[in-house]
Structure 1
């Protein structure tokens, strides 16, 4: 089966899955009301230079800022200098956007004179996947989505009642879980931390294998690692990643080097395998560009969008007045920021969402309001 790009619409969010006969090949979330900024072109203004960090903070539009390393700057910058920059890494983990100023040119009719301004948006996650999979048709389940995409993609679009089938729904839902089922009965548990992502692999059927223990454990890890490393891509885990393989003696682990390298070579971000540490942990460095999936699902926008999706599904087809929502402070702010998501929920459900702030609720919690 040739690859297909499936775009399933929900309030304020489009889930994008690339599938073929082998299953789920790529995955991304697109939130039109919360663009991550990757690829955006800005007219910025140089702020403070931090010699110790080897770069300069650049003031961007809407009062935000980003960091421009000296290696990506057009030359020495004095505070207040205008500079054309592009965002190459989204803000994440409490750090601002990463910028570059190399290889850029001003759009026609624009000037560097003036305050910090957003000059052009970068590609959306759907556009990025359409570029990565140029021959794949794009299946959508919401006609309004076509208006949000470049005209050049429209010939590839096909309208379906449901973009995701049951198998794709299940595979995408599993990406939200920290535990992964791997070939051979093995499992892996993912634990993100501020400094790194730790992954622990647990043995499965290798324990009942009639071969010697180390031979069986090596084969089990070798067969399971490609699936695990593909999950890293699907979940967009990034930065420092350490993997504790299952049950294999430390001295035997370097023999897995070729398996890991071959699997990582299929990742378009080209992660680097740094080898095994003295503790036997496989060390991988994967570029940070867009926020990882677990962060998108856990932040206030993600919780708000899950709430609207759940509410919409519950009230669709319900006669009369639908129950409203009582929300915590962070969810209330997210709702105010994203009126498009609220409009989507109304269009999809046939009911206008109504909400009110409930100070008694924790910031990211909500409940139905039947009052």
Structure 2
């Protein structure tokens, strides 16, 4: 299912058990994964084991020595993006052979979109869309799977997708977990629930509660695209008992197409998981100024669509004003989805990512 919103398409895969996969696709701000570039070799960094490559959009990606022969500074080189910029770091690249190496930096070909990737991962699933603009962006090979409906997401799917923005996750057995991304790693803390009323011995009850809750929690790693180093503190279980959860953890991680690795438990009893970084994690996409600007436009569209008269105006902080100016596709989407031209004005009194409806316009 692909649901249209200003500047982005929300993609969900569901079955009788609920939400199986999820991704955000922002056509006006593609993440670049799979893009083929002709770049210009910049500074080599022996301490980092690689070379920075200047790209056509003015950014630089990093080419590890292990990803291809180290080029000479100033040389043109063909590279492909294998990891999107994220966590404050630029794109990760690999060297590509070919005959287009001569010339200035240029984007030569776009990689697969998140919708392309999920359509390939779920080849038997129909592509249910609610907006003709999505159909126009589909590759010809996917169009036979397309089904047009008035609303792509039902209420249950909307709720499940919205819950992915919440750092607190409700789990089976009354348990819950708190997910805290940091610059270095993602920390997950499980909190006991139903085990407190279990009449069995405390450690037996805690083991059963963690075992039953872990598959749902580890599925959240996939849905939220958490990646890199992940440490997990299970609830209330003695450190010496935690090794017995290895099979449960490994079985749950095996369902993830990125095949995260379970590295074992630390001396403190923390489960260590390593998941490959490719596309940006959901929390990064939602938390920055571009994400906040799209959330604002989505709220504005929901309030303005189908309403007669003048739509409400917006007052925005400096970062949101810049994000809106850099994403004309999102503005065009808001106009198409609402039937009104969005209007905003900069308000320096607001926080950089703050916004509000303008009191000088009618709702």
**Is TM (by shorter chain) over 0.5?**
yes
Q: Does 1:313 align with 2:302?
A: yes
Q: Matched residue pairs, number? A: 360
Distance in 2 (alpha carbons) for counterparts of 1:76 and 1:229: 38
Contact 2:78–2:100 (8 Å) recurs in 1:
no
2:65 aligns with: 70
Distance in 1 (alpha carbons) for counterparts of 2:100 and 2:288: 36
Q: 2:342 aligns with which of 353, 357, 370?
A: 353
After superposition, the C-alpha distances for 1:163-193 in whole angstroms (9 at most, x for unaligned) are 0011101111110101111111110011111
Q: 2:88 aligns with which of 83, 90, 94?
A: 94
Q: Please show how residues 45-194 of structure 1 align to structure 2 within 5 Å.
A: 45-73=40-68, 75-101=69-95, 104-106=96-98, 111-194=100-183
2:195 aligns with: 206
Q: Please show how residues 24-35 of structure 1 align to structure 2 within 5 Å.
A: 24-35=19-30
Alpha-carbon shift at residue 45 of structure 1 (Å)? 1.3
Alpha-carbon shift at residue 318 of structure 1 (Å)? 2.0
Q: Does 1:44 align with 2:39?
A: yes
After superposition, the C-alpha distances for 1:237-292 in whole angstroms (9 at most, x for unaligned) are 11110000000000000110011011101101111101000000000011111111
After the TM superposition, which segments of 4 or more aligned residues of structure 1 sit over 2 Å from their partners?
A: none
Alpha-carbon shift at residue 76 of structure 1 (Å)? 3.3
What RMSD in Å do the two structures reach over aligned CA positions? 0.9
After superposition, the C-alpha distances for 1:66-97 in whole angstroms (9 at most, x for unaligned) are 00000101x23110111110000111111110
Q: 1:295 aligns with which of 272, 284, 295?
A: 284
Q: Unmatched 5+ residue regions in structure 2? A: none
Alpha-carbon shift at residue 319 of structure 1 (Å)? 1.6
2:321 aligns with: 332
SS at match of 1:268: coil
Distance in 1 (alpha carbons) for counterparts of 2:70 and 2:345: 51
Distance in 2 (alpha carbons) for counterparts of 1:135 and 1:305: 31
Alpha-carbon shift at residue 317 of structure 1 (Å)? 2.2
Q: Does 1:341 align with 2:336?
A: no
1:3 aligns with: none
Contact 2:190–2:234 (8 Å) recurs in 1:
yes
TM-score w.r.t. the length of structure 1 is 0.96
Alpha-carbon shift at residue 321 of structure 1 (Å)? 1.1
Distance in 1 (alpha carbons) for counterparts of 2:299 and 2:70: 51
Alpha-carbon shift at residue 105 of structure 1 (Å)? 4.2
